[in-house]
Structure 1
Amino acid sequence: MLADSVDADAGPPPPLAARLAFGVLGVALVLGSAAMSSMIISRPTPVPAARTEPVDGALALRPDLVRDARWPFTSPAPETATARAGDPVAPLTSAPPMPPPAVNPAAGSDRSAVLLVDELYRRLDSDPASAVELLAPELVDGQGAELAASWRDASSVQARPVSAQAGTVVAEVELGYQGGDRVVLRHQFTVEPGVRQRISGAELITARHFDAG
């Protein structure tokens, strides 16, 4: 009796066409869901934009890093370019060396700041170890030996000031090497005012390597 009652309540089975339609709809829904999941999974993860930070301090005064292309930085290196030895480059000329006196009446002036930067380059050429004396300790940051050693391989050093304003000096220096390579660096220096001035900040603005080969 119970079976008869269930059969009576169930009624006739749905026609074949209706069952096929429901089956196709179900397959379409499953495929659509799978495609959507695939699109979501395969969508590339957004890459955060790289943040360029300045190269400053003792690292800014290391020409060997540019020459050997060993940038030890997590952020992109400063603007760099590589050229052939035959490419024309404007010659760099250096002002006559003038060691800063113990008492400088022009201390704090743009001229005194330029003279100090010129003296820095002169010492880096002739006696790199003594050049560290012109730099503030926080700039050197314990890297005086590495800084001095990075200039000893250069066979020539030519520098010229580019601009000076309010204790900030922009200057370029070209280093030549025995093999014919050249490195041209543009620095921005911050000079502390005072009777005995020191360079308290250095930033590498641009770096160019001219390959001898």
Structure 2
Amino acid sequence: NKSYDIMSIEFYYCSKNHFDLTVYPREGDYGKWFFHSSGMDLTFKSDITTSGNKIDYNKDFGYGGILIRKIKPNKEGTTHDIQSDEGSIDGPLKVEWELFDKFNALNAEENKELVPILIKRDNPLDKKIVCVKRKNITLTRFENQLPKILHERFLSIENEEELIKQARANIDDEKNEKTWLGYEIEKVKSRRI
């Protein structure tokens, strides 16, 4: 019965319009836990066509997720300084271990209580989401790339208009842009978490 605040996340998405080979391919619906060698993602709805074990990049496709980079234990009934790193678990694999290294291999019934779920805060924090360069990307093509498609909806940052213009240049279909997360997305300037 522990709860955590998500302190840092990173968006990954790959499609014809936002081709990013650093994203681990996956199939499935949105909102699933997806484990990989760098940690775990909360998945976006994936739309891929496979031929054998390979993705057919000649057809329309899209896949991605949200990598959880840092969490902080939250004791019920208390508030803590969200700006402080004290007590936080930092690093995608450390987060995965904290949340998932508790399962009993001999008692499936016990595990039902352990599966982490996302719960909206009753008292949302009055903090803006900010965007920074992605961490630990070694492919030169992607090391300075921002998750461009998200700026208009989720971020309030410097040079916002220019970044939105760049993102729009990478998007062919406005309808797909609004639904690629599996949700109808409202246009907002910033989002409070």
- TM-score, length-scaled by structure 1: 0.22
- Relative to its length, the structure with more helix (as a share) is 1
Q: Which has the higher contact order (CA 8 A, sep 6+)?
A: 1
Q: Give 1 or 2 for the bigger CA radius of gyration.
A: 1
- TM-score, length-scaled by structure 2: 0.23
